[in-house]
């Protein structure tokens, strides 16, 4: 039976979809049968981030409104035989209820190990639909103050859902800024929000758009996150590693002068 994990944040643009898609890829690479379910019915874009937008025929709204079965709406992704996308769907005629979304995901759960639910920004109806279908939550934040404030609100709201766990991923971390004390470290952020730290992801251009350089720092950080989820390890990517010592201080100065 699949673990249903909602990826949420409150604030928009902090990397929910990026995390859902890249985490899905890493879980699938570990042999876990994984569905990435896009529940952002307004500004859905998981299909684009997966590079599959031209192949999407059906989505969740089509299942809910009876135009196809859940299995027909699952799009196999080229990355791995274990990875599928359930796109949001292009149109819907009636308001979508949280129960309807939950029913669709529950119908898929017996045949998968993970269903990653990509939530829309905000804490209104769309957020509720995404969270009501989940058993666990990952809150994504960046180190920026506005993102932290929204993450704090989301953590408080998530307490009213019966979730087995609520954990934190700090995304877009700049190791040079952490090393210089210009932003809070991921551990300090987790301490402030009082949520266990599950993953740390560096700010990294390009790699999240599907280039998938296996050797990149970002991909290494994602593999650690996937192992923490699937194998129960607790390894965290160290964003400051590259910025310590003699060569590290040169890298720091170079990054600052960019
Ligand atoms: N670690 C990162 N390093 C660099 N860029 C990133 C990183 N994570 C996400 N991004 C970029 O930030 C932008 C927003 O990411 P994404 O769409 O995943 O956020 P989101 O939280 O899903 O947004 P929305 O709230 O609109 O759904 C994208 O252009 C994405 O490529
Ligand atoms: Mg998104």
pTM here is 0.94
Q: Which atom, in ligand 1's list, is nearest to the CA of 9?
A: 21
Tokens of 248: 């590290």
* Binding-site residues, ligand 1, Cβ < 6 A: 9, 12-18, 40, 43, 121, 171-172, 201, 203-205, 208-209
Q: For the chain, which residues make up each domain, given as ranges?
A: 3-257
Cα separation, 159 vs 193, in Å, equals 13
User: In what helix (H) or strand (E) does residue 75 lie, and over which residues does it extend?
Assistant: strand 74-76
Among 7, 8, 10, 17, the mutation site with the greatest number of ligand 1 atoms within 8 A of its Cβ is: 17
- Please, which residues have CB within 8 angstroms of residue 239's CB and are 6 or more apart in sequence? 173, 174, 175, 178, 186, 200, 202
Among 22, 208, 255, the mutation site with the greatest number of ligand 1 atoms within 8 A of its Cβ is: 208
Q: What is the pLDDT along the chain (258 residues), one digit of tens a residue?
A: 999 999 999 899 999 999 999 999 999 999 999 999 999 998 989 999 999 999 999 999 999 999 999 999 999 998 789 999 999 998 878 889 999 999 999 999 999 999 999 999 999 999 999 999 999 999 999 999 999 999 999 999 999 999 999 999 999 999 999 998 899 999 999 999 999 999 999 999 865 555 555 678 999 999 999 999 999 999 999 998 877 777 777 877 777 666
CA of 119 to the centre of ligand 2 (A): 7
- The CATH number of the structural domain formed by 3-257 is 3.40.50.300
Neighbours of 81 (CB within 10 A): 11
Q: Give how far the C-alpha of residue 62 lies from the chain's centroid of Cα atoms, to the nearest Å.
A: 23
CA of 15 to the centre of ligand 1 (A): 4
Helix (H, G, I), strand (E, B) or coil at 43: coil
Closest CA to 27 of 44, 9, 46, 2: 2
């Amino acid at each position: 039976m699949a673990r249903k994990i909602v990826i949420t944040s409150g604030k928009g643009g902090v990397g929910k979809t990026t995390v859902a898609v890249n985490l899905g890829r890493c879980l699938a690479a570990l042999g876990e049968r994984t569905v990435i379910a896009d529940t952002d019915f307004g500004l859905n874009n998981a299909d684009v981030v997966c590079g599959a937008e031209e192949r999407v025929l059906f989505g969740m709204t089509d299942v809910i409104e009876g135009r196809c079965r859940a299995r027909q709406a699952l799009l196999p992704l080229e990355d791995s035989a274990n990875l599928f996308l359930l796109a949001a769907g292009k149109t819907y005629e009636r308001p979508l209820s949280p129960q309807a979304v939950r029913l669709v995901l529950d119908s898929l759960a017996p045949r998968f190990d993970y269903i990653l639910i990509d939530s829309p920004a905000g804490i209104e109806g769309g957020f509720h639909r995404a969270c009501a279908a989940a058993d666990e939550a990952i809150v994504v934040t960046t180190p920026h103050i506005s993102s932290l404030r929204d993450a704090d609100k989301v953590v408080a709201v998530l307490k009213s859902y019966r979730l087995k766990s609520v954990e934190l991923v700090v995304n877009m971390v700049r190791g040079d800024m952490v090393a210089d004390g210009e932003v809070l470290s991921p551990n300090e952020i987790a301490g402030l929000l009082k949520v266990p730290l599950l993953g740390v992801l560096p700010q990294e251009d390009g790699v999240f758009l599907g280039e998938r350089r296996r050797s990149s720092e970002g991909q290494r950080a994602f593999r650690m996150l996937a192992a923490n989820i699937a194998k129960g390890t607790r390894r965290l990517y160290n964003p400051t590693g590259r910025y310590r010592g003699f060569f590290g201080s040169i890298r720091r100065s170079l990054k600052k002068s960019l």
